[in-house]
Amino acid sequence: MIHGGGFAKVVRASDGRPLELIRLKPGTVSIYEDSLADLPPIYRVTEAGGTVDYPHTEILDIRPFGSRSPVSLGKEAIGLSAVLEQHGANLFKGGARPPAVLSRDKAIPSDPAVGEQSLKTLKSRFQAAQSDGFKVPLILDDGWGYNQMALTSTDAQFLENRTFQIADIARIFGVPPHMLFELSRATWSNSEEMARSFLQLCLRPWLDRWQDAYATVLLSEDEQDEYSFEFVIDDLQRADTATRTDSFGKLVASRIMTPNEARAAMNMPPLPGGDELANPYTSVSGPKTIPDNKDDPSERPDTDGQPA
């Protein structure tokens, strides 16, 4: 997020099994790719003893979407937010009062001593009133007047600007604003949809990258055919359980998925007989047959001696 990439070196045992991942500083890693030859990248790591080249199967590589980090792309928006925050702190520190102008309806006395004393008295009175938060009236004499300046449009729209900056920074990282507690447009009816959007549009692309990167460096080519990595996100999808259950139920009933495929999608173990495409809401019975009782006198209807 900050440096534009994350790297880790795989430490292996003598038999090649991965033991641990050691994080590498992004500034110490250089990537060399030959797009014409269509070959895997080579990672050159600067270490204490010099530089070492590693194949792509030995370096865990998590890159952001694009060639630059989100912080680098949004540095101006982040800086503007910091300036607005400092401006608001300074504004409210002074009682949310904008600057004022002190004016005099007559000229300052020509005598320097008298004029200096008048300014000194005015300054001390103004500073005393300002330190007290202007809780007491400011008494001016000798023709001095106090003219309060109006708030600028930026000051008047301070909250709107702050709200916009939250949305702007959230946009940089692909995070919905409500995840940063900007709930001006959130309602009870769309909260579940926003949570689903956060999972699918923000987290899911990153989780897929982590899963692919882990499989590349921690599994051999043969193991990749049998095993895979997957983040368990059931807790994040718990609010959408009813929708997912209804969707999987319809897919199984329509014979598009088997019950075990639906269970695998929900991170549940398979069941015996769950690999058959069958509708669980219907049952198929065998053909009805009428028993043949012509040769069994005990099964013939009683006619009470009357001719048939």
| Closest of 242, 265, 245 to residue 253, by C-alpha | 245
CA 60 to chain centre: 22
| Cα 205 to Cα 202: distance, rounded to the nearest angstrom | 6
CA 263 to chain centre: 27
CA 34 to chain centre: 33
DSSP string of 33-90, one letter each residue? --TTTT---EEEEEETTEEEEE-TTSEEEE--SSSS-HHHHTHHHHHHHHHHHHHHHH
| Closest of 81, 87, 74 to residue 165, by C-alpha | 81
Q: Walk along the chain (308 residues) and give the pLDDT tens digit of each residue.
A: 677 678 999 999 998 899 999 999 888 888 888 777 778 889 999 988 789 999 999 999 988 776 677 888 888 888 888 888 887 787 777 666 666 777 777 776 666 666 677 778 777 777 777 666 666 666 666 677 777 766 666 656 777 778 888 888 888 888 888 888 888 777 666 667 777 788 888 888 889 999 999 999 999 888 988 888 988 877 776 656 677 788 888 888 888 899 899 888 887 889 998 888 877 666 554 454 555 555 555 555 555 555 54
Q: What ranges do the domains of the chain cover?
A: 6-69, 75-152
| Closest of 157, 54, 155, 143 to residue 102, by C-alpha | 143
Residues 49-52: contacts with CB within 8 Å, 24+ apart?
Answer: none
Structure tokens at 50: 């010099």
| Cα 241 to Cα 239: distance, rounded to the nearest angstrom | 6
| Cα 161 to Cα 77: distance, rounded to the nearest angstrom | 11
